[in-house]
């Protein structure tokens, strides 16, 4: 009897083990259907990338998308690249259809990026900085140049959290025809007093000292001037709406210098300072009708097909100092790329962001003239680009940063007051005193609304 019980127990045990084995096989089949660890069966993902179509062109992003799809067969990329990207994307976002990745910088007229910041609608990118660059053994944070993720332009809430990643950067300054200066035997000004002296000489040659594409280009010029007038303390005070900052002697010096530039600005500038005609103002420099214009290195590509004076040669200088021997600054403009908090494919978007800092992506961007703030990039530039990007090696100090983010305040825009009033200053329609008052008023409204 005992022997029969033992046999029956053994048979039951074997049957149980067999059933358990079948259960493990079924579980394995289910796991494989949801994506294996090696990624062979991962779910296919469609990423929607939206980007402003700039002087770099659409083809650049088409090449990036094709290269990434080739490297990651589980991802397909849908592109929306438009010059009026805000008008195209904003209605879709209002309907709940968000891109997964969006290249759109701050300081644009429609302020879509600022709106997203104010509404706390961006995804935190700290984990992107800590992850390795796609396909490389270095983290994104290690590859990005120092200082580019330490400003209000990337960390808009004034803390250690990065919500906007730096993508393409350009040193900015005053662009001119170096060949004309050589022909006339003129020295490139080092101070604003030098500028005014040169302006008088240029008048004798029927050449204006200054022009500007549109008033918005004063963003980089005036930020460099704020640094030059009062260093980082003045700049940060202005960027955080500190009470009385625009009534200080240093800030008033900046505003009065802009007002004095009106005496030396080409008479057609204000009429052409709009999105449709701004290249006419840039053409003034190419035609030797104006000496200087504020701009960034992208202007070379933007005006590549434009006619120009014989022997024209691009030159760029940092913003003049207010006193002889004082510090000079060249504001570093950079575009930002970000992920909406309501993006559908946030994890895949973050992995794609890491790819954008890879050597492969950097080469694709460089072919279109777009330069990223990553280690070793300057050595890869052609001679003319190296001239611009080496400005910091020639004594100019870098200036970076933007205005602190605030909660929405109806009718209060610091950009409208600071840059939007430039045309009125140039046309003599408002005084510096009124300008100061308006800047103090809007700063007073924004100060308590800072995030």
Beta bridge partners of 172: 296
Question: How many angstroms separate the CA atoms of 87 and 90, rounded?
Answer: 6
What lies within 8 Å, CB to CB, of 305 at 6+ separation is: none
Residue bearing tokens 């296919």? 44
One digit per residue, the tens of pLDDT, for the chain of length 451 reads: 333 334 333 433 333 334 344 444 443 333 333 233 344 557 899 999 999 998 889 999 999 999 999 999 999 999 999 999 999 999 999 999 999 999 999 988 788 999 999 899 999 999 999 999 999 999 999 999 888 898 888 999 888 999 999 999 988 999 999 999 999 999 999 999 999 999 999 999 999 999 999 999 999 999 999 999 999 899 999 999 999 999 999 999 999 999 999 999 999 999 999 989 999 999 999 999 999 999 998 899 899 999 999 999 999 999 999 999 999 999 998 999 999 999 999 999 999 999 999 999 999 999 998 999 998 898 898 878 888 888 887 788 888 888 888 888 999 999 999 999 999 999 999 999 999 999 999 999 999 998 7
- Closest listed residue to residue 370, CA positions, set 41, 53, 14, 6: 53
Looking only at the bridges linking them, the beta strands covering 165-177 and 290-296 are: antiparallel
Given this model, what pLDDT does residue 205 score? Answer: 96
Two structure tokens written together for 137: 């053994």
Beta bridge partners of 48: 78
Beta bridge partners of 331: 399
- What Cα–Cα distance (Å) separates residue 226 from each residue in 69, 172, 250, 403? 45, 15, 8, 13
Given this model, what pLDDT does residue 41 score? Answer: 56
- Closest listed residue to residue 395, CA positions, set 321, 327, 331, 295: 327
Whether the CB-CB separation of 131 and 140 falls below 8 Å is answered with yes
Given this model, what pLDDT does residue 15 score? Answer: 36
What lies within 8 Å, CB to CB, of 74 at 6+ separation is: 39, 42, 43, 44, 45
For the chain, which domains are there? 45-169+333-386 (3.40.190.10), 173-331+403-449 (3.40.190.10)
What lies within 8 Å, CB to CB, of 193 at 6+ separation is: none
At residue 331's C-alpha, the angle toward residues 180 and 280, to 5°, is 45
């Amino acid at each position: 009897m005992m022997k029969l019980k033992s046999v029956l127990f053994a048979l039951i045990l074997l049957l149980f083990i067999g059933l358990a084995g079948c259960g493990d096989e079924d579980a394995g089949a289910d796991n494989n259907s949801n994506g294996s660890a090696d990624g062979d069966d991962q779910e296919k993902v469609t990423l929607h990338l939206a980007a402003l179509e700039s002087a770099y062109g659409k083809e650049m992003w088409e090449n990036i998308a094709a290269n990434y799809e080739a490297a990651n067969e589980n991802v397909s990329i849908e592109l929306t690249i438009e010059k009026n990207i805000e008008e195209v994307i904003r209605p879709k976002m209002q309907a709940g259809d968000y891109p997964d990745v969006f290249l759109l910088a701050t300081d644009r007229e429609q302020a879509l990026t600022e709106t997203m910041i104010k509404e706390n609608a961006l995804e935190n990118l700290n984990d992107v900085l800590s992850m390795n660059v796609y396909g490389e053994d270095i983290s994104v944070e290690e590859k990005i140049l120092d200082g580019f993720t330490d400003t209000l332009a990337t960390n808009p809430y004034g803390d250690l959290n990065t919500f906007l990643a730096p993508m393409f950067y350009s040193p900015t300054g005053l662009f001119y025809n170096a060949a004309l200066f050589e022909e006339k035997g003129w020295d490139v000004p080092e101070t604003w007093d030098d500028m005014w002296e040169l302006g008088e000489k240029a008048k004798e040659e029927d050449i204006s000292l200054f022009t500007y594409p549109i008033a918005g280009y004063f963003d980089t010029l005036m930020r460099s001037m704020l640094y030059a007038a009062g260093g980082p303390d003045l700049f940060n005070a202005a960027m955080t709406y500190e009470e009385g900052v625009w009534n200080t002697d240093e800030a008033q010096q900046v505003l009065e210098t802009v007002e004095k530039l009106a005496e030396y600005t080409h008479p057609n500038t204000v009429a052409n300072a709009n999105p449709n005609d701004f290249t006419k103002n840039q053409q003034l420099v190419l035609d030797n009708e104006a000496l200087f214009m504020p701009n960034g290195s992208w202007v070379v590509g933007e005006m590549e097909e434009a006619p120009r004076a014989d022997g024209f040669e691009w030159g760029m200088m940092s913003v003049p100092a207010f006193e002889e021997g004082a510090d000079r600054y060249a504001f570093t403009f950079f575009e930002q790329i970000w992920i909406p908090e309501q993006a559908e494919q946030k994890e895949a978007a973050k992995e794609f962001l890491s790819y954008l800092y890879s050597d492969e992506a950097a080469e694709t961007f460089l072919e279109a003239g777009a330069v990223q703030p990553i280690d070793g990039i300057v050595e890869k530039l052609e001679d003319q680009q190296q001239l611009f990007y080496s400005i910091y090696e020639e004594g100019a100090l870098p200036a970076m940063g933007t205005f602190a983010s605030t909660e929405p305040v109806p009718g209060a825009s610091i950009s409208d007051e600071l840059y939007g009033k430039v045309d009125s200053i140039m046309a003599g329609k408002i005084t510096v005193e009124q300008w100061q008052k308006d800047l103090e008023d809007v700063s007073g409204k924004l100060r308590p609304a800072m995030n």
